[in-house]
Amino acid sequence: MAKNSYKICLLPGDGIGPEIIVEAVKVLDTIGGLYDTDFFYTEALLGGIAIDATGTALPAETLEIAKGSDAVLLAAVGGPKWDTTDPTKPRPEQGLLGIRKELGLYANLRPVKIFGALKDSSSLKSENVEGVDMVIVRELTGGLYFGKRDRMYDVPGAGIDGAAGMRAYDTLEYSEYEIERIVRHAFEAARGRRRKVHSVDKANVLESSRLWREIAHRVAADYPDVEIIDQLVDNTAMQLVRWPAQFDVIVTENMFGDILSDEASMLTGSLGMLASASLGDGTALYEPSHGSAPDIASLGIANPIAQILSVELMLRYSFGMDEAADALAKAVEDVLDEGWRTKDIADASTLPQKTVGTTAMGDLIVEKLKA
Ligand code: NAD
């Protein structure tokens, strides 16, 4: 049988990005050797580094390379060097939003799982996070973040004390097809898990949510083996800290998903542990949930695990290499069980000799994979 081969576009970006993506490549090379697969990499510019080199956060060449690849592995973009409120200046996040839009990545999957060895790092009491293992499926290209918006000046009565002033609006719009395809992703994901979908909306107030709920139930009819639970977003925000283990798959619109997934990320104790997959109809993109951590860039202490776990998602969703993905997840778990920690996940019980830097953590995971 011919050897499988995949083209991967690497986007190291800014800050700690280049340091952590190297560890992910090390892991991919190891997996390639173990599972008889070739991975070919092409590195491209995105974010601040792209602004410096080309004047734009998403150069056309980067987009071309990404579109011609089987998957994209992104680290993170941004940093104080490029922070600006001047709307005429390019910003690193434009690269991020731009590539998601251009690749048609409408579904963001963010797994939130408690590693047994890290349950004391959670911001909740360890007994409250026992068994947490969920996936948040967030709609990524619609809703408030992409709707019609404007700011108006000199609007009569909009200022202080009845004077003329400024007024702004954003609009939350969803079409039937946008809801249908994202909810279907959630139900498909639930089939490979515990078969429970919480469809989160604000149907008691918003018309777009009432449409969401109607379509969600229409899709649910095709999945009689999966339970659907409607939940209002304010209740979900509360349930995530009250009893997070109740959730298997949560599906929701863009802004609700943005907020809920950041809330859920705190359950695990460190942003350095969370990966995400952005899927559409073409090339998918995988990235850690954290930013470019400019405060620790170049110190060699960044946690590479979220980046490495985004490789796990890539193996699963883009290459159908479930066995390799399971082996990688287990390798990470075993390294943590043995007490190895990067600084961000170390605590008072961590042995000083088991507190390691970025490269050593990558090496430990590679060694476990080979064992
Ligand atoms: P951040 O996630 O970069 O950092 C928050 C805190 O977590 C920092 O103290 C950082 O040191 C720590 N941290 C993050 N990742 C870590 C890791 N892998 N290992 C150890 N510690 C880690 O968020 P921020 O400070 O709000 O943003 C910094 C920059 O990143 C900004 O320019 C922001 O716009 C950008 N950002 C980018 C993305 C992305 O590329 N997807 C996401 C969020 C923020």
β-bridge mates for residue 5, sequence order: 38
**Identity of the amino acid at 321:** M
Do 151 and 263 contact (CB within 8 A), yes or no?
no
| d(C-alpha 20, C-alpha 12), whole Å | 8
Residue of minimum CA distance from atom 33 in ligand 1: 78
- For 198-239, what is each residue's pLDDT tens digit? 999 999 999 999 999 999 999 999 999 999 999 999 999 999
DSSP symbols for 322-357: HHHHHHHHHHHHHHHHTT-B-GGG--TTS-GGGB--
Do residues 305 and 335 make contact, with C-beta atoms less than 8 angstroms apart?
Answer: no
Mean pLDDT computed over 35-46:
98
Q: Whose CA is nearest to atom 38 of ligand 1?
A: 291
**Strand extents, DSSP E, the chain:** 4-13, 37-43, 71-76, 107-113, 133-139, 149-155, 165-170, 196-201, 227-232, 249-252, 275-279, 284-288
Cα angle, residue 290 at apex, residues 289 and 294 outer, rounded to 5°: 160
DSSP-derived 3-state class of residue 95: helix
CA 346 to ligand 1 centroid distance, Å: 18
Tell me the per-residue pLDDT of 296-309, one tens digit each, with 9 for 90 and over.
999 999 999 999 99
| Helix H or strand E encompassing 186 | helix 176-191
Cα 132 to ligand 1 centroid, rounded to whole Å = 24
> Is the CB of residue 96 below 6 angstroms from any atom belonging to ligand 1?
yes
Q: What are phi and psi of 105, to 5 degrees?
A: -85, 95
Q: Does the pLDDT at position 352 exceed 70?
A: yes
For residue 154 and ligand 1, the question of a CB distance below 6 A is answered with: no
Residue the block writes with tokens 């499988």: 4
pLDDT per residue as tens digits for the range 310-322: 999 999 999 999 9
Per-residue pLDDT at 255? 97
Q: Which residue has the higher pLDDT, 330 or 349?
A: 330
Indicate if ligand 1 lies below 6 Å from the C-beta of 294. yes
Average pLDDT, rounded, for the chain? 95
Q: Is the CB of 356 under 6 A from ligand 1?
A: no
Residue 355 Cα, ligand 1 centroid: separation in angstroms? 21
Q: What is the DSSP letter of 368?
A: H
Q: Which residue has the CA at smallest separation from atom 10 of ligand 1?
A: 293
Q: How far apart are the C-alpha atoms of 307 and 310, rounded to whole Å?
A: 5
For range 52-79, the mean pLDDT: 98
Would you name the residues annotated as active-site residues?
A: 145, 202, 234, 258, 262
Q: Where are the domains of the chain?
A: 1-108+271-371
- Judged against a pLDDT cut of 70, whether residue 1 lies above it is answered with no
d(CA 22, CA 228) in angstroms, rounded, equals 40
List, in order, residues 6 or more apart from 5 with CB less than 8 Å away: 37, 38, 39, 40
Closest ligand 1 atom to 16 CA: 18
CA of 264 to the centre of ligand 1 (A): 16
* 293: nearest Cα among 304, 285, 280: 304
The phi, psi pair for 36, rounded to 5°, reads: 50, 50
Domain 1-108+271-371, what architecture?
A: 3-Layer(aba) Sandwich (3.40)
